[in-house]
Every structure is written in C-alpha cells, then in structure tokens.
Amino acid sequence: MSEHFTPESQPTHPRGLAPESQPTHPRGHVVSWKVYLGIFLALCALTVVTVVVTGYDFGPFNLVVALGVAITKATLVVLYFMHARYSPKLTGVVIASSLAFFVILVFLTLTDYVSRPWPLS
Amino acid sequence: MTAHAPGGPAHPAPAGGHPGSARASEALQHQFTDLQQQKEATTLGMWVFIAQEVLFFGGLFAAYAVYRNMYPAAFSAGSHHLSWKIGFANTLVLIGSSFTMAMAVHSAAIGKKKRIVAFLLATVLLGSVFLGVKYFEYGEKIRPCSGDGPYAGCLVPGERFDASAVHLEGDEGRHAQIYFSLYFGMTGLHALHMIIGMPIILGIAFMAWRGRYSPEYHSPVELVGLYWHFVDIIWIFLFPLLYLIGAH
C-alpha cells in the first residue's frame, strides 16, 4: 500500500465518541486499511486457534470452546469488515433482532428434543 | 437514519449537492433527500436481507444441533473422515477473500477506481479457489457412488452409502448418513451463495471499471461486500462444526 491511504484514512472522530454523533457526510466513516489488515491477521490467528484447541479434550466444553472462537471471529467480521461499529443504531437493532430470532429457533427446538426420550426405539 | 427526520434533512443543500460530484447526483434516486439518506436506506435494506439469511441458514443449524445432540458418535466419526487440513486451508482462503472485499470497499470510499477492480477480481479469484477445493472434496465422496459397485467410500446418503468408510456399522452407520446429509446441505447452500455472489461481484467490478462509483456513491460495492462477509461468517461456523468435532 502507498501513502495515498494515510491522510484520508485516519478516524475523524475522537476515541469514545459515539460513531453516529459524527457530522454526517456521504463518505461516511473511512476506516484505515491497517484496521482491515489487523482484523484479517486476527481472523487467521483465530483459525489456527480453533484447530489447535481440538488437540485438547475439554470434555463437554469442546463445543463451547469451538463456538466461542467462531463467535469471536464472526463478531470481528461484523464490527469491522461489515462496518457495524460505524453504522447507525438501526443497523444494530436489525443485527440484534436477527440473532434473537436465531436463538429462539435453535433454543426452543432443542428444549423439545432434549426433553424427550429420543431416540425412539 | 436519525439525522433525517421527515421534513428536516441534515443537508439543506439541493439533492446531491456535494461539490464536484456530477456522477454522485446522477446516482441519487428521486425518492431520497440526499446521498447520505439513500446510502443508509440501501444499507439497511441489505442488513434486513442478511437477517433473513441468518434464519434461512438457521434452520439447517437447528437441524444440526438436534442431530448432533442425538447421535454424537456418528457425527464425530463423520467429521473425522473430513480432512481438517483442507478445511483449514479453505477457511484461510475465504477469510482472505473477505479481506480483499473489505479493501475493495475501502478503495471505493477513497475513490481509487483501479484498486476497486483489482480487489474485487482478487475476491472472485479466492472464491474460485475455495469452490475448486470444495469440488475436489465433494468429488472424493460422490465418485465412488456411481457405476455397479461395490461403492467403497461412497459417502452420499442413500442405499449406496458406505458406513465402513467412517468405521461404523448398523444403526450408527445410518446415523452417519444424517451427518453427511447436513454436510452436503450446509456446505452446498453456502457454496450456492458464493456461486450467486461471484457473478454479481464481477458485474460490479465491471461497473467500477466503467467509473460508475465515487467516494460519495459506491453503495453496490458496499452491499455486495456485506453479502460476501455474511457468507464468510457462515463458513466460520461451518468449519469447526463440520470438520473439527471431537479431539483430533
């Protein structure tokens, strides 16, 4: 990458300021390419982690560990690659509601199956 | 959205009235007050579509949760038959394609036309590598099922399914067919999303090459980016759930 990126790619708001309180501009928030590179490297590292942890047996927590790493990776993608961190609050509402309904779908389905004497013989 | 209460736009300037953006004002559709509002509306629409996609895949994830809970041994055996090394490499390829996609959107935001095209083409190239590997993986499991038998190594669920390939027999062998049904269903739906996404990315790369996008207006690049990252997230979950069950 070259010097073209640096001047425009600096975050324009002070740390801690809510992103939606920035002055609105059609360009929106331009994130530095270094942030994307950092997220990419973090995702690669977490992919290595998810493989390495399978070398250890955490018993019933194997699935919890695997999902924990996957959720961390997904969160990084949503916040930075998909710009959720710099998006209007309404975007957050849509994301949260989709996750809420996904949890309802899986959780309520499982309450039924795990509370019955499956597999039926 | 909050900055644009009806009747009180944040930008009182005329439609698309940002200096030096003839292209941008062409891009403004008449129902929107300004490009900022248009961008927020189209982005929100894409997020609503993605929310729907979460539940579309959610049904398969729910089925996976039910059957893995029911038949853990068969799922573990089926998973061990997959090559985690191939899955690992393919995960890195797909994360790489998400990175190049993020860089394409970034290039659009700072108005670097050639870089948009280059990063979009890189994204499609990495996506093709992923699908090529997937084709190889599928072929290994499907090829033994054709012909007159004995179908050793056939892992397509059905009467030709070879449970001995995953070291199972009897009921557990049949349960492994459920694992492979979900394997083909989930990775297949994921691959279908990539197959749909790649021509769209190529189309947008063509539009970028024609100079249709500017820092003020590049929503198609952003929206296809959201779609591609979502598909990446699905794979981030499929990799440990399908390839890495139990200690290796």
pLDDT single digits (tens) A92-111: 999 999 999 999 999 999 99
| B229:A114 CB<8 A | no
Residue B34's pLDDT band (boundaries 50, 70, 90)?
Answer: confident
* pLDDT tens, position by position, B166-185: 888 888 889 999 999 999 99
Question: What number is the average pLDDT over the span B27-42?
Answer: 87
**What's the whole-model pTM score?**
0.84
Q: Is B42's pLDDT higher than 80?
A: yes
Confirm or reject contact between A36 and chain B (CB < 8 A): yes
Residue numbers in B near A90 (CB within 8 A)? 1, 44
Q: Is B18's pLDDT higher than 60?
A: no
B119/B2: higher pLDDT: B119
Do residues B61 and B235 touch, judged by C-beta distance below 8 A? Answer: no
Residue numbers in B near A36 (CB within 8 A)? 99, 102-103, 106
Residue of A nearest to B221 (CA): A82
Mean of pLDDT over chain A: 80
Query: In which element (H, E) is residue A103 found?
Result: helix A89-114
The shortest CB-CB distance from B40 to any of A30, A47, A88 is to: A88
Alpha helices by DSSP H, chain B: 22-27, 35-70, 72-81, 84-109, 113-142, 170-209, 219-238
8-state DSSP, B5 = B
The shortest CB-CB distance from A20 to any of B2, B84, B237 is to: B2
Please give the pLDDT value at position B49.
97
Do residues B123 and B101 touch, judged by C-beta distance below 8 A? Answer: yes
Distance CA B44, CA B188 (A): 27
Residue numbers in A near B244 (CB within 8 A)? 50-51, 54, 66
B12/B236: higher pLDDT: B236
Residue of B nearest to A42 (CA): B95
Residue A5's pLDDT band (boundaries 50, 70, 90)?
Answer: very low
Look at residues A59, A84, A34 and name the one whose alpha carbon lies nearest to residue B50. A84
Distance CA B197, CA B231 (A): 9
The DSSP annotation for B109-154 comes to HTT-HHHHHHHHHHHHHHHHHHHHHHHHHHHHHHGGGSTTS--TT-
Looking at this predicted complex, what is its ipTM? 0.85
Phi, psi of A8 (to 5 degrees): -85, -20
Show Cβ contacts of residue B22 under 8 Å, excluding neighbours closer than 6 positions: none
Q: Which of residues 48-67 of A touch B (CB under 8 A)?
A: 50-51, 54-57, 62, 66-67
Residue of B nearest to A118 (CA): B70
Report the SS3 class of residue A35. helix
Q: Within chain B, what is the greatest distance between any pair of CA atoms?
A: 75
* pLDDT tens, position by position, B92-115: 999 999 999 999 999 999 999 999
Please give the pLDDT value at position A57.
84
**Candidate from A56-65, B23-32, B146-155 with smallest mean pLDDT:** B23-32
Q: Is A52's pLDDT higher than 60?
A: yes
Do residues A106 and B61 touch, judged by C-beta distance below 8 A? Answer: yes
